[in-house]
Amino acid sequence: MATGRPTHPADRGRPANRGRGIPEATVARLPLYLRALTALSERSVPTVSSEELASAAGVNSAKLRKDFSYLGSYGTRGVGYDVEYLVYQISRELGLTQDWPVVIVGIGNLGHALANYGGFASRGFRVAALLDADHAVVGTTAAGLPVRHMDELEDIVEEEQVSIGVITTPPGAAQQVCDRLVAAGVTSILNFAPTVLSVPDGVDVRKVDLSIELQILAFHEQRKSGEEGAEQAAAPAPAKASAPARAAAKLRRTAATATTAAAGTDGDLPAVMPA
């Protein structure tokens, strides 16, 4: 709290944040602010307060102001933030004022969905090519673009200066595709395959996992209906019964009708171990 005391000695002369470092948590929220601001901009709203913008973005206003403080002093006390100006500043900070060619590898259902996703083009992302290994898919079109064969990957990445690759292949193919993308010069990968990818230093990987989010929801859903109970089942005896037996005792309950989902396979997406 600023209680009227002088600035703490250790903080004197220190910039808001050392050097270039914007916290990861802040970076992850900038797209949310940008979306809310873009909506305001389309409605020709000239200025917005931290309170209004925070509510539109689904965060609290203290967090928003703190986040913005890492970018600079872009607001006006007593007034708020200029919408257009802030849209520009956040876009620039995120790197969206430049064109980002991306390749999408694996044109199944999800690849199709992404190729058609409007939220990309509007933010500077341009689909440079759609690639697939299956000759039955190559030559068809998706979102107005021809699906090209994996063989062309290296040429396309070089010619189009692609630095971002999107992987929507089955998990068994993901690491190979990743390796080829990296070898060709791609340094950022968005991975939709449920596989842990290994990449060399300097390459960023982000992961979107459709089933993980659902599993997290199930966890919380489970504790809504009666805290415990419902999910009763007999724990299978572990191979070495010694230590786990202690634990098993803790949760001993009546036998029940639990399906052994855990022991099932991954359906058409068999999990693959990383190298």
Partner DNA sequence: TAGATTGTTAATCGATTAACAATC
Which parts of this chain interact with DNA (CB under 7 A)? 1-5, 7-8, 11, 16, 23-26, 49-51, 59-63, 65-66, 68-69, 73-81, 240, 242-243
Task: Confirm or reject binding of residue 25 to a copy of itself (CB under 8 A).
Answer: no
Q: Which of residues 161-220 bind a copy of itself (CB under 8 A)?
A: 163-164, 166, 187-190, 194, 196, 202, 204, 206, 208-220
Least distance to DNA, CB of residue 5, Å: 5
Q: How far apart are CA 180 and CA 193, in angstroms?
A: 16
Per the annotation, does 72 bind a ligand? Answer: no
Distance from chain centroid for Cα 192: 10
Which is nearer to a copy of itself, 5 or 252 (by Cβ)? 252
- The binder of 147, among DNA, a copy of itself, none, by C-beta within 5 to 8 A per type, is none
Name the one range near a copy of itself by CB under 8 A: 5-13, 33-41, 127-135, 146-154: 33-41
**Residue 229 has which token pair?**
């109970």
- The binder of 51, among a copy of itself, DNA, none, by C-beta within 5 to 8 A per type, is DNA
Per the annotation, does 109 bind a ligand? Answer: yes
Q: What proportions of the chain, in percent to the nearest 5, are helix, strand and coil?
A: 40, 15, 45
- The binder of 57, among DNA, a copy of itself, none, by C-beta within 5 to 8 A per type, is a copy of itself
- The binder of 226, among DNA, a copy of itself, none, by C-beta within 5 to 8 A per type, is none
Smallest CA-to-CA distance from 208 within 224, 195, 220, 217 is with: 195
Smallest CA-to-CA distance from 205 within 234, 176, 167, 246 is with: 167
Query: In the block, which residue shows the tokens 């009666």?
Result: 226
Least distance to DNA, CB of residue 246, Å: 8
Contact (Cβ atoms closer than 8 angstroms) between residue 177 and residue 197: no
Task: Confirm or reject binding of residue 38 to a copy of itself (CB under 8 A).
Answer: yes
Please provide residue 59's backbone torsions phi and psi, each rounded to the nearest 5 degrees.
Answer: -130, 175
Which is nearer to DNA, 59 or 208 (by Cβ)? 59
**Residue 95 has which token pair?**
């790197």
Locate the DSSP E strands across the chain.
Answer: 47-48, 75-76, 80-82, 100-105, 125-132, 141-142, 145-149, 164-167, 188-191, 204-207
Which is nearer to a copy of itself, 17 or 211 (by Cβ)? 211
Query: In the block, which residue shows the tokens 């949310």?
Result: 32
Q: Which helix (H) or strand (E) holds 147?
A: strand 145-149
Could you give the angle at the alpha carbon of 204 between the alpha carbons of 202 and 205, nearest 5°? 145
Q: Which of residues 107-146 bind a copy of itself (CB under 8 A)?
A: 108-110, 112-114, 116-125
Least distance to a copy of itself, CB of residue 160, Å: 15
- The binder of 114, among a copy of itself, DNA, none, by C-beta within 5 to 8 A per type, is a copy of itself
- Provide the total of helices (H) and of strands (E) in the chain, helices listed first: 10, 10
Per the annotation, does 144 bind a ligand? Answer: no
Give the Cβ contact number of residue 189 at 10 Å: 22
> Residues for the chain: how many in total?
275
- The binder of 265, among a copy of itself, DNA, none, by C-beta within 5 to 8 A per type, is a copy of itself
Known binding-site residue numbers for NAD(+): 106-111
Residues making up the annotated binding site are 106-111
